[in-house]
Amino acid sequence: MARRNPRPEATHKMTFTPLKEQCEQCGQPLWVAHHSHRTVTTLSGLWKLTLVVRQCIEPTCPRYHHPYRPEEEGGWALPHGEFGWEVIALIGQWRFREQRSVPEMHQMLLTRGMSLAERSVTYLMQRSEELVALRITDHQRITARLQKQGHVILALDGLQPDVGHEVLWVLRDCLSEEILLARPLLSQTQGDLTALLKAVKELLKELAVPVKGVISDGEEPIRSAVAFVFPEVPPQLCQFHYLKDAIAPLYEADRHAKTPLKKHLRGVRPIERALEERSTPENEAIRGSCLAVRASLTDDGRSPLQPSGLKLSDRITQVSTSIARVEEKKDCHLL
**236-291 per-position pLDDT tens digit:** 877 777 777 777 787 777 777 777 777 777 777 777 777 777 777 777 777 777 77
Q: Of 198, 211, 88, which Cα lies nearest the Cα of 146?
A: 211
Residue pair 143/203 in contact (Cβ under 8 Å)? The answer is: no
Residue pair 306/315 in contact (Cβ under 8 Å)? The answer is: no
Question: Judging by DSSP bridges, how do beta strands 12-16 and 179-185 pair with one another?
Answer: unpaired
Question: Judging by DSSP bridges, how do beta strands 179-185 and 31-42 pair with one another?
Answer: unpaired
Is it the case that residue 75 has pLDDT exceeding 80? Answer: yes
The pLDDT value recorded for residue 334 is 39
The pLDDT value recorded for residue 37 is 92
Query: Mean pLDDT score of the chain, rounded to an integer?
Result: 82
Model-wide pTM > 0.75: no
Burial label for 97, CB within 10 Å (0-12, 13-18, 19+), is exposed
Average pLDDT, integer, range 36-65: 91
Is it the case that residue 161 has pLDDT exceeding 70? Answer: no
Q: Of 277, 165, 275, 172, which Cα lies nearest the Cα of 216?
A: 172
Burial label for 173, CB within 10 Å (0-12, 13-18, 19+), is buried
Residue pair 303/248 in contact (Cβ under 8 Å)? The answer is: yes
Q: Of 61, 40, 62, 60, which Cα lies nearest the Cα of 49?
A: 40
Q: Of 206, 202, 160, 200, which Cα lies nearest the Cα of 180?
A: 200
Residue pair 64/57 in contact (Cβ under 8 Å)? The answer is: yes
Question: Cα-Cα-Cα-Cα dihedral of 177, 170, 102, 290, to 10°?
Answer: -80
For 286-323, the pLDDT digits (tens) are: 777 777 777 777 666 666 667 777 777 777 788 888 87
Residue pair 146/178 in contact (Cβ under 8 Å)? The answer is: yes
Residue pair 180/155 in contact (Cβ under 8 Å)? The answer is: no
Please tell me which of 161-165, 167-171, 207-211 the model is most confident about, judged by mean pLDDT: 207-211
Q: What is the DSSP letter of 73?
A: G
Question: Cα-Cα-Cα-Cα dihedral of 59, 60, 62, 67, to 10°?
Answer: -20
Contacts of 306 (CB under 8 A, 6+ apart): none
Is it the case that residue 73 has pLDDT exceeding 70? Answer: yes
